[in-house]
A and B are shown apart, each in its own frame.
Chain A
Amino acid sequence: MSRLAGVTDLDARRKQALEAHEAAATVIAVCDGPGCNAAGSAKVAAALRRAVADAGLEGSVQIKTTGCHGFCQCAPVVVAYGDGLFFRGATPDQAPAIVEAAVNGQPIPESVLYRHPATNEPIALERDIPFYAHQERRLLKHASHIDPLQVADYLAVDGYAALARALTEMTPEAVLEEVKQSALRGRGGAGFPTGMKWELCRRAEGDQKYVICNADEGDPGAFMDRALLEGNPHSVIEGMAIGGYAIGASRGIMYIRAEYPLAVRNAALAIEVAREMGLLGEDILGTGFSFDLDIVTGAGAFVCGEETALIASIEGFAGEPRPRPPFPAQRGLFGKPTNINNVETWANIPLIIRHGAAWFSEIGYERSRGTKIFSLVGEVQNTGLVEVPVGMTLNEIVFEVGGGPKPGRTIKAVQTGGPSGGCIPASLFDVRVDYESLAQVGSIMGSGGLIVMDDRTCIVDVARYYLRFLKSESCGKCTPCREGVPRMLEVLDRIASGEGSDADIDLLGQLGRTVKGASLCGLGQTAANPVLSSIRHFRHEFDAHIHEKRCPAAVCTALITFHIDAEKCTGCTACARACPQQCITGERKQPHVIDPERCIKCGACLDACRFDAVVKE
């Protein structure tokens, strides 16, 4: 990869990339994000390449592997360019038929055809699928167009044009002003205005400044940042270089959690290529501006997403936070002024510089502008990555994009903001998903995890889950978080086992207030949110556990029993054979009985029964 001496070289390289793309008559993109990869996308891609070769179409059909397209529910996902034919659950044996459909317009084989989950109507084109149709894709617009290992793919969609524009046509102050005008706010969750953050660092005195990309995404169920880094690492690199220019930083660090090996690899390869091309390093594009990037991998601690702990971790110390001030903008990495932004925040920067602040902020709600990527997971029809305008209502996200509940279920709540956020009951789904509105209902925007829960989810159990997570992730430095979170968990365990009392609710409130009010860092200060918000919105479920000794969702094992409905039992013995306790007895072809004394409530009998005779309540 030869070095680009200036913007003319960059434009020439872009033209080359576009011409190469136009030469291929048909492009079939195979999503190779971890979800699709786990479902066999590598084998599908190999089979597609073989099918193309067998049909003698190597010259005109190109098979491209890309980062995550977002519709993980349909893994492995394959899309043919042009109209955007969509193939769900692709398998190697369907490869020839997929190539036929893409090239010759043959109908999509039934086994890989997407059907509307409610109406069963077939949908051939990606853009017509409700999951995609209701999104506003800006950051993910080119998810299916970019092979993360091919910089040409990024150049072909105007990659690095924003960096070139910033360096040649704008002063650092003008770049900063543009970002301020856009009203972009930190996508890591707290929503601090990005431009203002940059300005604080720019104004701070220091011979050396740093910019850092926080890719320590740790919320359970959240994978937006991972998908961006894996699928389009150059967009993050470009954003950071622009940030370095505006702030006056010549060095940048991507702090990526070690549990994301593909993100680490793709980012490292992209940095290497960008350096070879002269888009990183000394004298970028002949403008005299120098900026270089390194990757530091995290050592597996949720708290390292907190800015001061992240800095300590990069410096080689244990990942523990320290009180602020001084803020990183004043005294950050190695004591120098440092600006830390989340992956998605950085990825928005090239778009803002390329299209302008006005374009960016034309969508959104009140003080929250632009789009936000969410990972929509849990008990909903369409799971995956969704990018929507900030301020869309939860109803729209869950029911229109997400397709609503699974068959026969009802959705009861959504957890936003992961272990730092709160659960929002379905009765409040009119709430807009923006920083201020979510705070009003006791939750937070967070980094973008949206976990949907239905009537089979027990709120007490979910609160316990988050507290268990936080207990194991607390660094232990400050008393309220280290000691308070495990005590809250003890109280919840008591409630879940049917031994709770009304005093326990008060105790949770008191502990929660102190953990929230007195903890040192953001992890502790938000740790009580899942519990406090679930008590606020689902007090009746707590009361059922406490007063009626009943778990309405039939989840908390201490409060449920399994028995067999003699009317329905056919005596097939399937349950007795599945039972690990061997506590189900009965003659063949006669109703069986579960011995409640020995039953460990594992649910194996329920899964084994084909006649709905096993009852859990």
Chain B
Amino acid sequence: MTLKKFFQVYSGVAILAGAALFAVVRVAYNQITFEAPDVTTIRICHWQLESGFREALQDLIDAYEKEYLERHGEKVRVLQLPVSERGYGQFVNTGLVGGIAPDIIERGFSRVVNDPSYLTRYFLPFGPYIESPNPYNVGTPLEGIPWRQTFSDGLISAYDRELLDYYMIPFSMFTERIYYNKDLYREATGRDDSPTSFLDFINVCNTIRDYAARQQRSLVPLAGSKYQAGVFQRKYTNTFLTDIIRLSDANLDGKCSLFESYQAYRNGVWSFESPALLASWQCTTDIAANFQQGWMAALRDDAVFMFVQGRALMFASGSWDASSLLAQVGDAFEVGVFNFPAPSDHPEYGKFARAMPSEAATGGGIPWGLNRATKHADLCIDFLRFCTTRDHNAQFTSHINWLPIVQGVTLSETLKPFKPRIEGIAGHFDYEISSELRLRAEGGRWQLFSGRMTPLDYAASLAEIYDRTAMEGFRTELEKNRRNMRNMDRIVAGRLLALAAPEASDIAAVERSVMQLLYANQAKTHDLAMDTHFLQTVTQ
């Protein structure tokens, strides 16, 4: 056999054999490494694929494994499983149902991790752990303080009002802001300070457009996409509607539900041509006029690229993007951040908009839940406690430029603009009562914001559908509420039944929990009765 023939015959075999050998060795190595009998392994899964998150979490994990070995003389391994948003829900669902889900799970993207009936079945509550101090805080100013109170939100956002317990431990919190290219801003405006008011913000946008025209540069004031338009819409709609909310808010809870808005509409409190509503739409349209041409077809990533490439001065997004953006920009330019300015100084909008929405109740983000099927609940708690000391939370959040959640963590200069705004309005106005209206509102919204439709035309198109479908929508939403109340009743029944258990434990605690459940849902129950009565009255 010639060498050429030998090569022809055996090279393929050799490569295949080599590949198989590599696979066997690698898999065996992984098996030995990750499933060593002398190492306790806990797994933690999340969908945070932003730049820096995995590294920041891994730093905490490495430090924890080292400290655990020093403290206990035993090895522990924490494996992080990053899964992209697209497959996260399925990954968690199947894992929980199959009993193979990770020990610590970032809650989200799935009904199983949010619906109370599944939550109680698949997750352990943190209630028994959070009222005792975090042992890792010994020797720090937080020593002796219950773990719950070391979080800057007091874990209020972790409390499930239907299950009456705490079902997550957060690592951070998030706000939305406007990022801007400081170098370009300086160059175009000759200023160093960020826009101080709404009119100033609009002036800056105009200046940038003039500057781009003068310089014949491909440059727009704001990087746009539907996502970005949505950010501005969220910020600038309720801002205009505080008076309507107050007048429509029959149950005085500070919000205007679908039912309240419909009843107020019938009573003439507001219409689609209400100046405040028209102004709110016009405001977002004014802002969107500063996006690039054809922004409606752009994706969120396209907007990021425009900003990173210096083709847009500003870019609106959440603090969760800070790290990725800074990494992308690198040394190309300095990134600044400022808050959405309230249009209170605008001659027209100022009549309606007193302040932007309040962020005082901003809750914790990165909600870690504890898998009920975990064999290492105490170890998981220990790990979460380790991660939520002041120093470790500072280390973690500074690594990825996210807001810390533990009390007393120093904010870096980069993060200061993200600090939640406490001066702001609280209300919320909801009128999209039928699916047909929701579709029309969603479809027409982009035409409105892109200037192809006037606010009055948009109002007319919504009013037509609202008048036709609102009653049916009211009925459907009412039915949904009735089902929600029915689900709540399941939880109450479960608690009440505990009184009949052969070894009924703490009877007073059971009684208290029944009372708390009924309290948490009382307003909704009463609203349901009122709204049902209203429906009966108007349909008679």
Whether A and B are associated in the same complex: the answer reads no
B residues with a Cβ closer than 8 A to A are: none
Which chain A residues have a beta carbon within 8 Å of chain B's beta carbons?
none
